[in-house]
Amino acid sequence: MTSVVGDRLRLVVKVLGSLVANEVGQATRLRRRGRRDARPPAEAADASAGSGGDPAAGSELRRAKAVRHALESLGPFYVKLGQILSTRPDMVPQSIREELQNLHDQVDVQPFSVFEPVLAQDLGPDWKLRFDDVETVAPLGAASLAQVYRVTLPGGRPAVVKIQRPGIREGVLADMALMRRASKIVARVAPRFNEVIDIEAMLGSVFDAMEPELDFNGEARNMDEAREHVRPFRSLEVPRVLYAGPRVLVQSLADGRSVRHIDRAHFADDERVEIGKDLLRFMYHGYFVHRFFHADPHAGNVFAAPGGPATLIDWGMVGRLDRRTSLQLLPLFMTLAQNDGAGLARHWAEMGRITPWANMPAFTADMAAFVPKVSHLALEDMNFGVSLTTVLAKATKRGIGSPPAVSLLGKSFANLDGSVRCLAPEITLPEVFQGEVPKILLALGREFLGRNQFARNSMELLLTAVTSPDQARGVLSDIANRQFALNVHEPRTPSAMGGRQPTRPSGGLLALAALAVLLGRRRSP
């Protein structure tokens, strides 16, 4: 492993060194041009080509493309990292973010003969007997981690086989080791930056999410878990796992084609809208109830055909949330749906952390100005992923640290947004979310009253009652009046730095979730 890390380090240094050298050379050329009183028309045209006549914009575009090409040349780990950075305006300039959104996990197709040794090692020397036919001429998909081929199983059933590229696991693990070292260096040399953006923790969440992509047994477990969660959503399904090994995965074939390439006219309006809404509902339950979500639900991973359910594929990269972060995320979504900018600012701070130099009043004012602009828009008029990154950028600017999970959440939100827009751009996200809140609260209430959680939750409520008597009285009053309005405004205590810090969150939310279950039972016949 040490030699692999060394080899990867040399490659990374070479690529980044070339990137820096090109940047220095470009800067030198621009300075020389700046010394000239005039330039020939042809040279001026070349300098501003592709930038609308603006040489500075042309330089930024060239720089952004160079960064994207460098990441693509370094392989799958850096491609994934670049995709995540494309959602982080607090870390990356806009011109580069826009170019990083063009990062694709697509590489040159390798011949099937490259993958045959992997099949023989994982399935045995008689692997050909497992399939009636393998379409080896052209794969269904080619990514930097694997290639996917259509196969026919004995009996005629169609399926797909996903085969990991030889040697790719070792390279990705080496890249992870290098990035861990780099994150520790960043923490030492830029402590103020690291306090707002915990690089090591952020990378840790990304590494955890990528792990199943390096061992298909993990991806198979993710698919089995997702299939259980998707059952209530009739217009969606997850492929069935037929065989799983470390580097080979056989699964059922998804019907239709990617929603990126579908013709919406071939679908009934009610059908495509329902698929889009079910996709949102399923992901909402993943974020708030199951705390397990598809981290890469872009349009290429959603397949649909008229008259049948859509299929969500590629479960190699998933996100998992701890209970407290998930519970804090729910009221944050509700404040957006309810056009409450001040509430969004407060819950974002509670979900993350407030640095000693934070300016909460300014962040609250930012959100009070921003939220009314987007809370009512349909998908065709709003990019939810962009909206989320706007909040993230404002928070970082005001000294509000965001939780490590926000990187994967941002990637997931942005991709989900694009997939639903392909299907039904007229959908309004807050409307779908508000319609799903009662079901989410009921699910949280059942969890709250579960045998394994009841003792702990009761203790949390007791602590909340002791530390926040006003909130406890409010909850009891709501119970007496059978009010269902969600009130998650927590009392706040002054911090030692003169700012305001959140106290224990989510107690009222848990109590109201339990109340929803209890009253739901009372209403049932």
Is 148 part of any domain?
A: no
Q: What residues pair up with 147 in beta bridges, in sequence order?
A: 142, 163
- Residue 241 phi/psi, 5-degree rounding, is -85, 125
Name the pairing type of β-strands 141-142 and 146-152.
antiparallel
Tally Cβ neighbours within 10 Å of residue 74: 21
Last residue of a domain, one of 100, 133, 165: 100
Rounded to whole angstroms, how far apart are CA atoms 30 and 395? 35
Per-residue pLDDT of the chain (525 residues; tens, 9 = 90+): 566 666 766 777 776 666 666 655 555 555 556 555 445 554 444 444 444 555 566 677 887 888 888 887 777 778 878 877 777 776 777 788 778 777 765 567 889 999 999 999 999 999 999 999 999 998 998 877 899 999 999 999 999 999 999 988 888 888 888 888 888 887 788 777 777 777 787 788 788 888 888 899 999 999 999 999 999 999 999 999 999 999 999 999 999 999 989 999 999 999 999 999 999 999 999 999 999 999 989 898 999 999 999 999 999 989 999 888 888 888 888 887 788 999 999 988 888 888 888 999 999 999 999 988 887 777 666 666 667 778 888 998 899 988 788 878 888 888 898 899 999 999 887 788 888 989 999 998 888 777 666 666 666 666 666 665 565 555 555 545 544 444 444 444 334 333 444 444 444 444 444 444 444 444 444
What 3-state DSSP class applies to 148? Answer: strand
Tally Cβ neighbours within 10 Å of residue 6: 12
Is 491 part of any domain?
A: yes
Q: What is the CA radius of gyration of the chain?
A: 25
Contact between residue 322 and residue 291 where contact means Cβ atoms under 8 Å apart:
yes
Is 132 part of any domain?
A: no
Is 309 part of any domain?
A: no
Is 299 part of any domain?
A: no
Q: Burial of 421 by CB count in 10 Å (0-12 exposed, 13-18 middle, 19+ buried)?
A: buried
Rounded to whole angstroms, how far apart are CA atoms 296 and 215? 17
Last residue of a domain, one of 46, 74, 100: 100
Sign of CA dihedral 452, 453, 454, 459: positive
Q: For residues 274-298, b (16+ Cβ closer than 10 Å) or e, as one string?
A: bbbbbbbbbbbbbbbbbbbbbbbbb
Structurally, how many domains does the chain consist of?
A: 2
Contact between residue 364 and residue 346 where contact means Cβ atoms under 8 Å apart:
yes
Is 446 part of any domain?
A: yes
Output the pLDDT for position 53.
55
| Cα 496 to Cα 356, 466, 499, distances in angstroms | 9, 22, 7
What 3-state DSSP class applies to 311? Answer: strand
Name the pairing type of β-strands 492-494 and 400-401.
unpaired
| Cα 236 to Cα 25, 264, 271, 283, 286, distances in angstroms | 52, 17, 12, 11, 14
Is 470 part of any domain?
A: yes
| Cα 294 to Cα 209, 240, 282, 301, 418, distances in angstroms | 10, 16, 10, 10, 14
Q: Structural domain of residue 491, as residue ranges?
A: 442-523
Q: Give the contacts of 12 (CB within 8 A, at least 6 positions apart).
A: 74, 175, 178
Q: Which two tokens stand for residue 222?
A: 């993710």
Is 10 part of any domain?
A: yes
Q: CA dihedral in degrees (120, 124, 126, 132; nearest 10)?
A: -70
Last residue of a domain, one of 75, 100, 125: 100
Name the pairing type of β-strands 257-258 and 248-252.
unpaired
